[in-house]
Chains A and B, each alone.
Chain A
Amino acid sequence: MNRRIAYIASNTFREAVRDRVLYNLIAFALLLSGAAILVGQISIEIEKLVVINLGLTAVSLFGVVIAIFIGIGLVSKEIEKRTLYTVLSRPVRRWEFIVGKFLGLAGTLVVNTFFMAIGVFLALFYVSHKFVKADALILIALYFIILEFLIVCSLSLLFSSFSSPLLSAVFAFSLFVVGSFAEDLRNFAGMAHGISRWLATAAAYLVPNLSAFNVISSIAHEQPVAGQLILHNTLYALFYATMALSGAVLIFEHRDLK
């Protein structure tokens, strides 16, 4: 990797750690240990199911919130603090800055997810007292969650490259919600006619299809995930994140920073 990109990425990671982003791990640990102990007492036969569902949902939601709230400030904060000018006055290209920021944030989320995953497995061991082969499927769900983060990070960065933090947050969060309904949108397009069909189809392909990344429920029931889905989701996340990052680079390249 380009050294300049690596440098920006590691700085972004360090900045996120300095901003106490990883403190969310404490909340996560409390949530999971509380649920693991409590649910056994107030519900029936779902201790393991809750740990997997709650654990993976929390990993996903905490990560999405971090991706949005850090992602939206990645560019605008640098402009506001005027540190961007210092960076760009050096031999750093604008696209390198965007890609570095993206990789830094993605790295933060991967590290965060890694620690949360340890928490999920510990809680699982607490309720089951053993691991079974099917528990390895959780790793696939975690992988999909990371792919989802890549998309959300890239979108936050895209919005951050031209909009204010507040509006970027609104846009990114709205797209996350719409992305969760992407399959419905496609079904709706299938039922529509004429121009509305084209518009709905275009919208359905434009918004990120995040529902395909959510396999938490089926994994909680130890249902295997098709290898083809893993391949398709990987390619989709890479293409979509590249598309959003390219958009961010395009906008940022032409942005007047004076």
Chain B
Amino acid sequence: MKSRRKITIMASTLLVLSLAASAFVLHCTDKLRPQATLDEVLFISSPTLVKRASLGYDGLMACIYWTRAVQYFGYRHHYYAASYNLLAPLLEITTHLDPHLIVAYEFGSSFLAPKPPHGAGEPERAVALMKYGIENNPDNWHLYYDLGFVYYMELHDYKDAEETFERGTKVPNAHPFLKIFAAQMAQHAGEYQTARMLWSATYQTTQEKQIKQNAIDHLRALRVDEDVDHLQDAVTRFGERTGRLPANIWELVSAEGLPGIPLDPDGHPYKMTPQGRIELRDPDAFPFATKGLPVGYKRKYGGMN
């Protein structure tokens, strides 16, 4: 009886110790190969094959692939990756497994189409994904909106954007702003105004926090682009009037009769270089701004390809 107890104690101790030791060794191994556990490999890239292999439990598989897509994008986005090679296949597999998973299409249009580091830079695949979504969910007006959005924002294809928004208006319970967008596309109305309307609509209609934040970032960047455009025009006007550049931004402000130095959306005043360029004080705070960036400024990209 005594020896049995001894063995029990020994075995229990050994169990705990070896478990702790194996965890420690694994932790050390992970440090040696930091990327190993996050290797981006898609062993099965065929949506059909994955669907077959799921033995009919495709709903659960879709949730797993969807989570993988979110994790993949989040991880690479966090490190400002220059490419998102697996995002499109992951979304295609997800939607093939569950064609009614609307959030995957919404996410796809928002993050598959924009250029890296904000997205995968694959607008054509985003369009294909959205078309597949519409095919399987023809009564969901959000999908028409998202597809029209990609056509307009990323492909600058006004004709297809107009047609898509127009088709969306015919869907029961479609949001009335689709009609306005269709008209805007037909007129090729002011870029800023249309873009602002589209991003505002995205912000108002999505439930998803990441997409909401993306819309806010774009709206902030649009305001910066528009402000910089106006101020740059003012500099040109000043030059035409006086034959020289303003000595500083204060001179420009008083010449234009402005109440003060215009502020960016964060409340920082814009600055003017001696060469008459209007620039942002903190360009990193506006990842989508295309204007007001210092000469030679490069966006943060991580080491990831």
Contact = CB atoms under 8 A, between A and B. Distances in A.
A216 B210 contact: no
A176 B193 CA distance: 58
A61 to B, nearest CB: 8
Nearest to B97: A217
Contacts of A218: 100
Contact of A54 (B55, B58, B60, B66): B60
B56 interface: yes
Given A177-B55, A211-B56, A214-B56, A44 B103 contact: yes
B24 interface: no
A210 B208 CA distance: 36
A69 B220 CA distance: 61
Contact of B71 (A42, A177, A223): A42
Nearest to A39: B67
Task: Describe A's contact surface by its main secondary structure.
Answer: helix
Nearest to A213: B56
B103 to A, nearest CB: 4
Given A216-B57, A217-B58, A217-B59, A45 B52 contact: no
Contact of B56 (A54, A210, A221): A210
A54 B60 CA distance: 6
B35 interface: no
Interface residues of A, number: 27
A49 B100 CA distance: 11
B98 A217 contact: yes
B70 interface: yes
A57 B70 contact: no
Nearest to A219: B59
A43 B56 contact: no
A180 interface: yes
Nearest to A221: B100
A42 B67 CA distance: 7
Which one of A61, A181, A220 has the greatest number of beta carbons of chain B within 10 Å? A220
A53 to B, nearest CB: 4
Contacts of B103: 44-46
17 contacts: A39-B67, A42-B67, A42-B70, A44-B103, A44-B210, A45-B103, A46-B63, A53-B62, A53-B63, A54-B63, A60-B57, A180-B55, A184-B52, A216-B59, A217-B59, A217-B62, A223-B100
